[in-house]
A and B are shown apart, each in its own frame.
Chain A
Amino acid sequence: MLAFICRRIALGFMVLTLATASLYVLVQLAPGDPASAMLGPRASPRIKAEFREKLGLDRPMPVQIVNYLIAVGQGDLGIDLKTKKPVVETIAAHAPHTIALVGAALLLATGLGIPLGAAAAVRRNSWFDRAIGLISVSLISIPPVVIAICGMLLFSAHLGWLPAIGAGEGFRDNILHLLMPAFAVGIGWVGYIARLVRASMIEVLGANYIRNAKSFGLTERMVTYRYALRASLSPTIAVLGVGVGVMLGSAAFAEIVFARPGIGKMMHDAVTLRNYPVTLGAVLCATALLVAATTLADILNALLDPRFKENRD
């Protein structure tokens, strides 16, 4: 087990290193040279040359990649062109808002999705099951950005129940400001998780070991919630691990709509100012977050399921 965990973490680092290097190469491949892209079209050739030398862009590509990886490894993501401070500081100031948002969305998705899916599986083919199925598909089909804008129109502009913009001051205010963005990011996942839990529970409920457990005299309730539900957690965790990537994107929409100072909002602002060190640093951080989430999901699954030795497709 320990070997598996170590191997999985090592793979995570390898993927992250490759992703970082690929991103660097991708940016250098962009049409036009990066110096003019960052300095704007009106920079003089002399300034551009100085800039290129300062960033080491005049060196051969493999050297540049290695230098970049070393810098990133040391936490150096460059300088924020707007504040003139290290990009890491800018990101550190915004990341907590995004992490709180994705965390709240995960909480919503599992807290509602798992019980709904389990209830639907137990009452299979009832009207309740059908209703949950229909609602789930509908929730999945509504883009988070539409939910966010409509939520703001209804609950902030129209009813005035919830604050519309920012992240709030103080704990209670923070929570109030978190409600609508978390709803926008997480509600689609409620439907997704409910369907996933339902499908895997129905499969497990028909398995031999469940029939066995029942014939040994365990109550229906116990069998359902202790064994069947537990077995359906593994695919849920796997999906949510990968789902963090999608949620980070949805979080960007929610942050922009609600002017919540997270990573997505920061990137959106940086794009208009051509503040590329910030946008690229943010991609690396988001990628690291996603790799960490998938790695954690795999490890969690391995710990939950003793048969789970290799990560499956």
Chain B
Amino acid sequence: MSASRIGFRVLLRDPMGLFGLVLAAVLILSALFAPLLASHDPAAIDVAVKLQPPSAAHWLGTDEIGRDTWSRVLYGGRVALAVALSATFLSVVFGGLLGLIAALGPRWLDQGLTLLFDTVRSYPVIILALAIGPIFGGGMVVLMGLLVATSVPYYGRIMRTSVIAEASSDYVEALRAMGMGRIRIALRHILPNVIGPILILASMDIPGFIMAEAGISFLGVGVKAPDTSWGMILDQGFRYIGHTPWLVIAGGAPLILATLGFTFLGEALRDAYDPRLKRRG
């Protein structure tokens, strides 16, 4: 049986891991099939039924301009997943590449990149988003750019450290002695050996990205209409908190379930595939 199969079995035996897997699966399926599951067009305005409590026609009620909350929650899940997954992917790719270059490149380049990482990491992300988001006009692309740019240093540093450690191991010495080129060693031998733990760490950062997207959209500087975000629903819920608690529930509950699900799943993945990472707290 392959290592990935064994890991998957360990994952299924962990109740929290199973719980996380189910939650994540539900979220992914509901996002994929949002057009089928939605009862209304999420952007359709009907002021006659504004701020309604849940009913047979509107399962989660309506917002202040009569849009169907259930449909908006489903489409918000699409946005949350799309942003979180692509931000994770892009951060790992760019961060990993820069980290690899820093570890194997000349010393001045390493120092320059490390300083760049430190500089970008010195911005508090949400505060930066509040200032930069509106200047660049907000929206999904700006939001993604911010999330990726501020996460790249994190993966860059991890990749740099792991590659430096791996590069001093005996088998790399041996390959070098056999006359193999640096770039070939890096891509064919070092990278496959260090990428596993980094991918697991990346899976554990998905809930962080989901939270960041919702948070920045709550502040009104992230996702923009006609797109929908759980953070925007939360913001509406907060503004109309005196009228109805349903918008807060509709925005908050899926957000908590999604972060909880992906957190449990990520932790179970880590425990199943790489118990050494457990120390990361």
Contacts and interface: CB of A to CB of B under 8 A. Distances in A.
B130 interface: yes
Interface string A153-171: 1000100000000000000
Interface centre among B118, B124, B128 (most CB of A within 10 A): B124
A268 interface: yes
B127 A15 contact: no
Interface in B233-258: 234, 237-238, 241, 245, 248, 252, 255-256
Contacts of B214: 143, 145
A143 B281 contact: no
Interface residues of B, number: 51
Contact of B252 (A15, A30, A150, A195): A150
Contact of A145 (B122, B123, B127, B215): B215
Contacts of A138: 260
Interface in A116-174: 134, 137-138, 140-146, 149-150, 152-153, 157
Interface residues on A, range: 35 or more
Interface stretch (A41-49, A61-69, A282-290): A282-290
A141 B219 contact: no
A252 interface: yes
B125 A30 contact: no
A287 B124 contact: yes
Contacts, number: 160
A183 interface: no
Contact of B215 (A27, A152, A249, A280): A249
Interface stretch (A73-81, A196-204, A205-213): A196-204
Interface of A is mostly: helix
B215 A271 contact: no
B88 interface: no
Interface centre among A149, A150, A263, A276 (most CB of B within 10 A): A149
Interface string B114-135: 0100111111111110111111
Contacts of B127: 248-249, 252, 263-264, 267, 282-283, 286-287
Interface string B261-281: 001100100000000001111
B45 to A, nearest CB: 23
Contact of B130 (A11, A15, A268, A274): A268
21 contacts: A19-B120, A137-B16, A137-B267, A141-B207, A149-B252, A152-B241, A199-B281, A242-B121, A246-B124, A248-B127, A249-B215, A250-B126, A271-B133, A279-B130, A279-B131, A279-B134, A286-B123, A287-B127, A289-B124, A291-B122, A294-B122
